[in-house]
Amino acid sequence: MALQVIEPKIRGFICTNAHPTGCLKNVRSQIDLAKKDIESTENTPNVLVIGASTGYGLASRIALTWGYGTNTIGIFFERPPSGNKTGSTGYYNSAAFHQMATQDGFTAISINGDAFSDQIKQKTIDEIQEHFGQIDLVVYSLASPRRIHPKTGIDHRSVLKPVGDSCTEKTVDLTNENIIDITIHPATDEEIANTIAVMGGEDLEFWIEALLSENLLAPQANIVAYSYIGPKITDQIYSSGTIGLAKIDLEKRVNAIDTRLLDQINGHAYLSVNKAVISQASAAIPIVPLYISILNRIMDTKDLNEKPIDQMIRLFSEYLGPNLVPIVDENRRIRMDDRELRSDVVAEVNEKWSLVNNENFHDLADFEGYKRSFRNLFGFEVEGVDYDQPIETEVTIPLV
C-alpha cells in the first residue's frame, strides 16, 4: 500500500510523476469514444502494438480492441511505482487498459521492456506462438530519445536540430510562458546518424524480419508505422531537420518492407502521417508547442480538431480496418494530417504566427488549453478526479 496525495511535478516540457486515477479516467474516456457494436467473426484479428502505452500507440490499441474486438499484444517500456515514487503515465495507462479489457472480455497481453532489444523481440515471438499463432496487423509507434543497438551495443541518442543551417524562430518558453526567439545550431554528421539510428526504420525492419522468420505474420497481414510531416513553420526543426531525416529513413524502409510482404504473404506496409498532437515528445521540440497552441485554437473553431483517439478511430474505420484498402497519396502515405494541412487552416495559422507576440499570445493561441492537455497526459486536471484525496499508487499490470 502506498497512499499518497499526488501533485504534478512539472518543469518545462517534463513531468516526472503521474496520477493513477486521472490516467484511468483518460483511458476510460478513450474507450467510450471507441466502443461500438462488434460483429462476431470466426477469426478474431490479432494485433501487435509496438509502443502501446501512450499517444498514438495506446489510442491504436484502444480503437482496435473496443472497435473491432481484436486480441492485442502490447510492447512498452514504462516505470512501475516504487516506494514513494509514482509509476510513469504509460504504466498507469497500461494498467487501466488491462483492467477494462479484462472486464469487457478481451484478450490482451503486455510486455514491459526495451522494444529495441533482441530479448524483447524473442519474448514477443514466444507469446505470439503460444497464444495467437499469427499476427494480422503490426502497429509501430515507438517514441524514444535513445536506442542501444542490439547488434553493436552502441548507445545512440537522438537530437532535435536543423540540418545544414542554423534555425532562428519564435517559440514559447514553457517555464516562463512567454514568447522568445530561439536559435538552434545545425546538427553534426554524427548527431544526424545517431538520430536516424534511434528514430529511423532499422528497428522496424528487425521486427518484421524476426516475425517473418518464424512465420508469425498471417497471409495478407498489414504493417503501419506512424510519422509526421507538418507545415512550413516547423520545417527547419522537423521535416528538414534531424528527425525529418529519420522519418525519411523510416519511410524508405516501410516501402521496402511492403515489397517484401507483397511477395511473401500478399501483405502490405504503410506509413500513416498523423496530426500534430500534444505529447511529452512534441513538447520537447522547439517551436512546436507554440505552433500546436495556435493550430488547436483554429481547428477547434472549425470543429476539425482531433486527439490521438479520434485519429486512430478514423484510421481504422476509413483506411486500415477489416476489408478496407487504404487511400494513399502519390508517395503511398496515408494522410491523417489532411485536416491540419487543409489550405484554410494553414493560411490562418500562418497569419496568426506572423502576428503573435507577448501582448496577444493568449488571444491568438490556446496556451491554457495546451497546458491543461499536457497535464491531462499525466492524469492531472482531469474532470471528476478529487486530487485532495490520497490515492493508491501501487498498481499492477499482468505482465508476461
Give the residue among 193, 196, 61 at the shortest CA–CA distance from 140.
Answer: 61
**How confident is the model over 264-269, as a mean pLDDT?**
98
Q: Which of 32-41, 103-112, 253-262 has the lowest mean pLDDT?
A: 32-41
Query: 238 an active-site residue?
Result: yes
Cα separation, 291 vs 182, whole angstroms? 14
Write out pLDDT tens, residues 204-247.
999 999 999 999 999 999 999 999 999 999 999 999 999 999 99
Q: State whether residue 278 is helix, strand or coil.
A: coil
Give the residue among 55, 53, 48 at the shortest CA–CA distance from 92.
Answer: 53
Q: Is the pLDDT of residue 41 over 70?
A: no
Query: What pLDDT is stored for residue 38 in this prediction?
Result: 64
Q: pLDDT class for 40, splitting at 50, 70, 90?
A: low
* Domain locations along the chain: 11-161+193-286+306-337+375-392
Give the residue among 230, 4, 207 at the shortest CA–CA distance from 117.
Answer: 207
End-to-end CA distance of the chain: 23
Q: Is the pLDDT of residue 180 over 90?
A: yes
Greatest mean pLDDT range, 173-177, 187-191, 317-321: 187-191
Q: Which CATH class is domain 11-161+193-286+306-337+375-392?
A: alpha beta
Query: What pLDDT is stored for residue 39 in this prediction?
Result: 62
Sole residue written with cell 471507441: 34
Cα separation, 216 vs 306, whole angstroms? 34
Q: Which of 110-119, 278-287, 382-391 has the lowest mean pLDDT?
A: 278-287
> In the beta sheet, which residues pair with residue 223?
138, 269
**How confident is the model over 280-301, as a mean pLDDT?**
93
Residue 195 and residue 159 in contact, taking contact as beta carbons nearer than 8 Å = yes
- Report the mean per-residue pLDDT for the chain: 95
Strands (E), the chain: 3-4, 10-11, 14-15, 46-50, 71-76, 108-112, 135-140, 146-148, 155-157, 167-173, 178-184, 217-227, 268-273, 333-335, 391-392
Which candidate in 56, 91, 140, 238 is catalytic?
Answer: 238
Cα separation, 160 vs 171, whole angstroms? 14
Q: Is the pLDDT of residue 158 over 60?
A: yes
Type of residue at 71: N
Write out pLDDT tens, residues 45-85.
999 999 999 999 999 999 999 999 999 999 999 999 998 89
Query: What pLDDT is stored for residue 280 in this prediction?
Result: 84
Sole residue written with cell 503511398: 332
Query: What pLDDT is stored for residue 13 in this prediction?
Result: 80
